[in-house]
Structure 1
Amino acid sequence: MNRNGWICIIASLLVLLGGTVGVVKIHNDVPNRLTNGPLLAQPTADSNAAATDKTLKDIIFATQKLVVMIETDNGLMGSGFLYNDQGDLITNGHVVIGAHTVKVRTADARELEGTVIGIGTDLDVAVVRVPELSGMKPLAMETEHVGEIGDEVIAIGSPLGYQNTVTTGIISGVGRVLDIDPYSYKDMYQISAPIAHGNSGGPLVDRETGEVIGINSAGAEQGAIGFSLPIGQVMSLVEGWSASPMTELPHNIAMDSDVFQEGSVGDVTFEDMASYLVTHFYDSLNSGDYVYAYSLIGSTWIASTSYETFREGYLGTRNITIEDLNVEVQEDERAVVTAYITAQERVDGAFVDTPYKVVYTVGYENDQLKLLSGKGQRIAQK
């Protein structure tokens, strides 16, 4: 067959292949969705975005399995992560101050006992050994590379007791210095992912590689700002404790909980928790974790909205940004949270920004804080 004949055949095959590719367009009525169904959404935008989301989800899934929640008998709570195959967890020193043994809750709902085998007196780091976790493949540590401003990161922990919570952001500052007695923090990463009560000790993960680059250690009293201790600062100390555990833990470590408490500056109030729950709901949807977002709503809401309806209702919105949020605490351990948001919605094949006002009722259900109800309306644009 001559050259022109081959060209014709190849061209014909390309046409046939191209003809098998279809595009399905889904257009949702957002105002109806806000009134009758879910209030927020995270859809797929295009094939490139879908591929990026898949990579993010793979990193999150692989990391979450090796992140635990840590609780002590004296009421402290934080997070930790598996760093070697001996069952050793890295966490912050202030998470386990005063404790020799701790309760460890794993991602698969096991409750294990861990022993503190090392704790820093100057550096805010500790190691907890859990024999039942030995033999497991640990998270990869990046000790050589230094993060830079603009690097995308993932923070995983248990803020306010919500285990395996994921928050994404960027490194927004480097070289930060903090002094929170008795610890001094140097060359800290400042991150846009907020660090709340219970996040301390969890890993800061590089968005591209999935490797741990820091330990989430502190949060600002105001604003969505967190601080993470670079993992390279502590690895020699951590590995020393793993090779030769402390025979006696230091007794001269104390921390004023009014100044620094499990990763946040200041006391955690019911107002803080209600605000965080709504923000956390948005973050879960924006990261595409519809199952987790659905678990945050109350039983009455669930009874009127199936998971399939809940998820489907969010496929027309790419991202939601909170512009303003107000919490009114009521007497019966409930709160009304009013948020003004901007939603990026798909309209006629393009995304447009639409403002909404959404109102939630937040309260306890079976000792868990839930979004009991919610409603929303579009704000008319002038």
Structure 2
Amino acid sequence: MRSGRFLPILISAFIFIAGILMFLVLHQQWEKKEIAVNNPIIQKVNTESQKLDLKSIIHESEKNVLQIEGQSESSTKTGSGFLYNERGDIITNAHVINEADVIYARTADAQVYPAAVVGSSEEIDIAVIRVPQLAGQNYASVEKTETAEIGDEVIALGSPHGFQSTVTLGIISGAERNFSVDGYTYSNAYQISAPITHGNSGGPLINRYTGEVIGINSVGTADGTIGFSIPLPEVIEQIEQWSNEVQNDELEFAQPEDVITSLQPESIVEDAEYLVDYFLDSIAIRDYVNAYTLLGSSLQMKWDYSDFRDRYIQIVDINYSEMSSNMTENNSISMQTEIEIESNQPNQEQTKHTTNHYEFHIGYENDQLKILDIKVEET
């Protein structure tokens, strides 16, 4: 009787112990096994945390970088700046626009606008100028709180010696540098290995990984091997205060038509050449929207955006020879070059290479340079 009474108890105990042992074994295997998660949200986060494409960062950043020209009776100063808010405000160095009677801002697509001073410091080398025509356009993403660290990779953009949208690469090679130059005090400045020379002043220093502006390029050594940049977190409060306090009706601007009449013929040709370069670069990087905005109204009436995109969407790469330019009447320019195009072929693995003779007709439309016509001849 006793053996019959305890037999169920023994069986239950055996099952219980066996269950515990099985659970421990499965738990140990589960901890060792890597779990593959097919979650689109997680995949998106992982993708966005990766290093951004350098060419894309530069192309997008160039849209916000401007060449700044401050003219007075005795001199003309040239520097750089970058669009940073929806009001059309541009951050630059104070020494670029100091004592200027008239200020012009030249955009990446060679458009020239009059600017007015929103705020300028006599102690810190920072200033804000405004171009109302740029209000509402996409502006640079800036880092307002976190400072960069030594070793961080950076991109410096500017217009040294008048060469618009020049790019140099480097790293943060030093931090918290304090010094004075020409009456301006620089505190906690970044020392960078990316060269800064005349014309870079006021341009953006960009984080290579995020594409955000982290500083204002300001000073370079005589040999151009070392540069210094003002960290944005050090000055952003003052910059935003200026921007928020000033309204457009309080500012004085030169007339847009005065800008054109003040330009020298060689300057107009340079702007036209840059406009075509920018157009072809936009096509090469597949930024068709940006390229389309460079066309005049006659071409946009001829091709709507969909037609324009279809003309160039198969292009893989573009290479072109040095352009020859001729000034015609009414400040218009004829530009000619040989362009080699590599393009995809539908339903084929190999790409096709063609070389054609292109003629661009550049002229003013509503006081701004536009591509008015494009002619292509097979060679």
What is the TM-score with the length of structure 2 in the denominator? Answer: 0.51
Which residue of structure 1 lines up, in the alignment, with residue 375 of structure 2? 375
Paired residue type of 2:204: P
Paired residue type of 2:275: L
Which residue of structure 1 lines up, in the alignment, with residue 209 of structure 2? 208
Distance of aligned partners of 1:67 and 1:372 in 2 relative to their CA distance in 1, 3 Å threshold? closer
Which residue of structure 1 lines up, in the alignment, with residue 82 of structure 2? 80
Q: Secondary structure at 1:309's aligned position in 2? A: helix
| Distance (Å, rounded) in 2 between the aligned partners of 1:313 and 1:362 | 20
Distance of aligned partners of 1:285 and 1:92 in 2 relative to their CA distance in 1, 3 Å threshold? farther
Q: 1:18-37 to 2 correspondence within 5 Å?
A: none
Distance of aligned partners of 1:321 and 1:330 in 2 relative to their CA distance in 1, 3 Å threshold? same
Which residue of structure 2 lines up, in the alignment, with residue 116 of structure 1? 120
| Distance (Å, rounded) in 1 between the aligned partners of 2:208 and 2:239 | 28
Shift of 1:138: 6.4
| Distance (Å, rounded) in 2 between the aligned partners of 1:182 and 1:268 | 32
Q: 1:1-382 to 2 correspondence within 5 Å?
A: 78-80=80-82, 82=84, 90-98=91-99, 114-118=118-122, 125-128=125-128, 139-140=142-143, 143-146=148-151, 153=155, 155=157, 171=169, 189-190=194-195, 201-212=202-213, 215=216, 229-231=227-229, 238=235, 269-347=267-345, 348-379=348-379
Distance of aligned partners of 1:188 and 1:356 in 2 relative to their CA distance in 1, 3 Å threshold? farther
> Quick check: 1:81–1:90 contact (8 Å CA) kept in 2?
yes
Query: Any idea what the Cα deviations from partners look like across 1:189-233, whole Å, max 9, x if unmatched?
Result: 249xxx998x86232423432233554679xxxxxxx999553x5
Distance of aligned partners of 1:239 and 1:229 in 2 relative to their CA distance in 1, 3 Å threshold? farther
Bigger helix fraction: 2
Shift of 1:297: 1.4
> Quick check: 1:214–1:229 contact (8 Å CA) kept in 2?
no
Shift of 1:326: 1.5
| Distance (Å, rounded) in 1 between the aligned partners of 2:92 and 2:304 | 38
Q: Secondary structure at 1:362's aligned position in 2? A: strand
Distance of aligned partners of 1:311 and 1:88 in 2 relative to their CA distance in 1, 3 Å threshold? closer
Shift of 1:170: 5.9
Paired residue type of 1:93: A
> Quick check: 2:344–2:351 contact (8 Å CA) kept in 1?
yes
| Distance (Å, rounded) in 1 between the aligned partners of 2:172 and 2:57 | 27
> Quick check: 1:88–1:128 contact (8 Å CA) kept in 2?
yes
Distance of aligned partners of 1:292 and 1:323 in 2 relative to their CA distance in 1, 3 Å threshold? same
**Where in structure 1 are there 5+ consecutive unaligned residues?**
1-47, 176-180, 219-225, 246-265
> Quick check: 1:73–1:99 contact (8 Å CA) kept in 2?
yes
Shift of 1:358: 1.1
Shift of 1:287: 3.1
Q: Secondary structure at 1:324's aligned position in 2? A: coil
Distance of aligned partners of 1:202 and 1:128 in 2 relative to their CA distance in 1, 3 Å threshold? same
| Distance (Å, rounded) in 1 between the aligned partners of 2:167 and 2:240 | 34
| Distance (Å, rounded) in 2 between the aligned partners of 1:145 and 1:272 | 38
The alignment yields a C-alpha RMSD, in angstroms, of 5.7
> Quick check: 2:123–2:183 contact (8 Å CA) kept in 1?
no
> Quick check: 2:206–2:215 contact (8 Å CA) kept in 1?
yes
Q: Which has the higher contact order (CA 8 A, sep 6+)?
A: 1
Q: Secondary structure at 2:351's aligned position in 1? A: strand
> Quick check: 1:101–1:115 contact (8 Å CA) kept in 2?
no
| Distance (Å, rounded) in 2 between the aligned partners of 1:229 and 1:280 | 27
> Quick check: 1:88–1:242 contact (8 Å CA) kept in 2?
no
> Quick check: 1:70–1:102 contact (8 Å CA) kept in 2?
yes
| Distance (Å, rounded) in 2 between the aligned partners of 1:294 and 1:196 | 32
Paired residue type of 1:210: G
> Quick check: 2:193–2:227 contact (8 Å CA) kept in 1?
yes
Shift of 1:316: 0.8
> Quick check: 1:100–1:115 contact (8 Å CA) kept in 2?
no
Q: Secondary structure at 2:142's aligned position in 1? A: coil
| Distance (Å, rounded) in 2 between the aligned partners of 1:196 and 1:353 | 40
Of 352-361 and 70-79, deviating more is 70-79
> Quick check: 2:71–2:101 contact (8 Å CA) kept in 1?
no
Paired residue type of 1:212: V
Report the count of equivalent residues. 268
| Distance (Å, rounded) in 1 between the aligned partners of 2:238 and 2:150 | 23
Shift of 1:242: 6.8
Q: Secondary structure at 1:208's aligned position in 2? A: coil
Distance of aligned partners of 1:282 and 1:217 in 2 relative to their CA distance in 1, 3 Å threshold? farther
**Where in structure 2 are there 5+ consecutive unaligned residues?**
1-46, 108-112, 174-180, 185-190, 243-263
Paired residue type of 1:203: P
Shift of 1:373: 0.8
> Quick check: 1:204–1:228 contact (8 Å CA) kept in 2?
no
Shift of 1:239: 7.2
Shift of 1:375: 1.3
> Quick check: 1:215–1:229 contact (8 Å CA) kept in 2?
no
> Quick check: 1:118–1:238 contact (8 Å CA) kept in 2?
no
